Amino acid sequence: ERYFRSLKYECIFLNEFEDPRALRKGIARYVQFYNQERPHQSLNGDKPCQFYAQNVEKIAS
């Protein structure tokens, strides 16, 4: 639920998308931003991609 709230309030409600294609592109950009650039409080300020990479390394070793 928290992810979809963030998606709505940080992407969809702030932009006027002209058509469904523009909406899909906007959502794709937001998902990229959310996973690659946006720090998350629940991950102690890490980005999901960093957190995932760190934990995969721990599991592999």
Per-residue pLDDT of the chain (61 residues; tens, 9 = 90+): 789 999 999 999 999 999 999 999 999 999 999 999 998 888 888 898 888 888 887 787 6
Task: Report the alpha-carbon distance of residue 5 to residue 44 in Å, rounded.
Answer: 20
Provide CB contacts within 8 A for 36, sequence distance 6+.
47, 48, 49
Record the pTM: 0.77
Count of structural domains, the chain: 1
Q: Which residues constitute the domain of residue 11? A: 2-60
